[in-house]
Amino acid sequence: KAKRRGRNTCQWYTDDLNRKVSERVSLRNALQQAIEQEEFELYFQPQIHGPSGRVIGVEALIRWQHPERGFVSPGDFIPLAEDTGQIIPISDWVLTTACRVAKQLNGLGLGRITMAVNVSPMQFQRPGFLASIQLVLEESGLAADLLELELTEGVLMDSAEQAIQALQDLRQLGVHIAMDDFGTGFSSLSYLKHLPINKIKIDRSFINDVVSDHRDAAIVEGVLTMAAKLDLDVLVEGVETAAQYAYLRQQLCDYFQGFYFARPMPLEALLSFLCEQQRHL
């Protein structure tokens, strides 16, 4: 009996595996079509400077509207694209589009608005990365210091020496570097003193319960103190409530992003949002 059940279990796993594999294959094919047909769109989420209340930047976030599947979350297709290498053409499209938009935004008389772009590990580690950034800045006419590249801890830890050199080269261009999802990797803190970065973005998992859980609060306060002493800017992600915002302002945090201020939105909506903000300042 046990044997039979064992075989059934095995069969069940195999079916499950087959389904997962075929789902991946079909998603990969769909992704290929998306690249060719440009089914992607960029959304933009405002980043707020607390003390002035101004929008000082936006983060570009990719959206995929598949003709039959509907909306596919980047959390679902970016990791797959990273595995298949499709992340490269996708990233090129994101960078080109984001820089073009940034150039346009900064010509509207709404003040300085930086464009934060997520960089995937494969993209960062490719030999031509620096040159591709240089090219996209030239083609768009965007000032380098209006572009901020968001990298995760993992990317920077993989081959620290090489990563540091690559970051220095980017900084030399004038581009800003932010460490995304700070606190979720398993890296040592000592790298922080070696990496030429401008900003850390505290992951939203620490913010969810920051008002009620003294352990989250302790971590956030510790990071803020450390960052100040290391001369790094801090942006807090995932601020959803007035209470979270009030608490974080009290902790002298300066930069914020989250649903409390604005959700990611298409360009037209962003333009109205920015104009509206301008009228209220």
Binding site for Mg ion (CB under 5 A): 118, 150, 180-181, 237
Q: Where do contacts with ligand C2E occur on this chain (CB under 6 A)?
A: 45, 60-62, 73-75, 78, 91, 94, 118, 120, 150, 180-181, 204, 238-240, 257-259, 264
User: Which segments of 160-257 are extended strands (E)?
Assistant: 176-182, 199-202, 233-236, 255-256
Instruction: Identify which of residues 72 and 116 has a Cβ nearer to Mg ion in the complex.
Output: 116
Residue 153 interacts with which of ligand C2E, Mg ion, none, CB < 5 to 8 Å by class: none
DSSP 200: E
Q: How far is the CB of 64 from ligand C2E (least distance, A)?
A: 10
Residue 254, SS3?
A: coil
Residue 74 interacts with which of ligand C2E, Mg ion, none, CB < 5 to 8 Å by class: ligand C2E
Instruction: Identify which of residues 15 and 158 has a Cβ nearer to ligand C2E in the complex.
Output: 158
Residues 6+ apart with CB under 8 A from 175: 133, 137, 144, 145, 147, 148, 149
Strand pairing report for 147-152 and 114-118: parallel
Q: How far is the CB of 90 from ligand C2E (least distance, A)?
A: 7
CB atoms within 10 A of CB 263: 12
**Residues in the chain, how many?**
281
- 178 bridge partner residues: 150, 199
Instruction: Identify which of residues 106 and 257 has a Cβ nearer to ligand C2E in the complex.
Output: 257
Among 239, 233, 245, 235, smallest CA distance to 262 is for 239
Instruction: Identify which of residues 30 and 94 has a Cβ nearer to Mg ion in the complex.
Output: 94
Q: How far is the CB of 48 from ligand C2E (least distance, A)?
A: 12
Q: How far is the CB of 204 from Mg ion (least distance, A)?
A: 7
Residue 148 interacts with which of Mg ion, ligand C2E, none, CB < 5 to 8 Å by class: none
Residue 259, SS3?
A: coil
Nearest residue by C-beta to ligand C2E? Answer: 258
Q: How far is the CB of 10 from ligand C2E (least distance, A)?
A: 35
First and final CA of the chain: distance in angstroms? 74
